[in-house]
Chains A and B, each alone.
Chain A
């Protein structure tokens, strides 16, 4: 089955610790995105990547880092510089080339601070 997988489903972070959220897709999509969702709010864009080895900051990139070494994978690291990391993190991907192509979302990772 084609789709987007995110792991783990729940992640706990201690103060001062970096943690990495995994996002993998087997849809052969070129573009991948990370969003953050806070309770009662919409999603906000953290980072996005349109091709391998290239990525751009979104609206709330501070305290986060990403890499795009493979087309299928777009991991997000939440660094210790992110002072309020508790949120639901959603990864999405999309085929490029046609502006009408839709973004498809993974099931999300909930990050909690201990």
Chain B
């Protein structure tokens, strides 16, 4: 079993839709949870960062962490064609300081 599981998609939604991206994980020691966005032929860029459980909002983006279920989510409101990219979840534990990535979900927002 992989430490981090992420549905690879592709996920296609119409412009303006609410998008929900998810990851599950097995290591209960993970404390830091990140979402990266990767456009085609570019490196990943950090989008959201959350420590432990709870929600974090930044503009149209909301990150949620449910440690009891070992489940994290990224919500995108009012999705735009410019949001079309691959979204990667990543997480780490303080002991190792090493990021473990999901495989990424390819999102396409149709105008």
Judge: A and B partners, yes or no: no
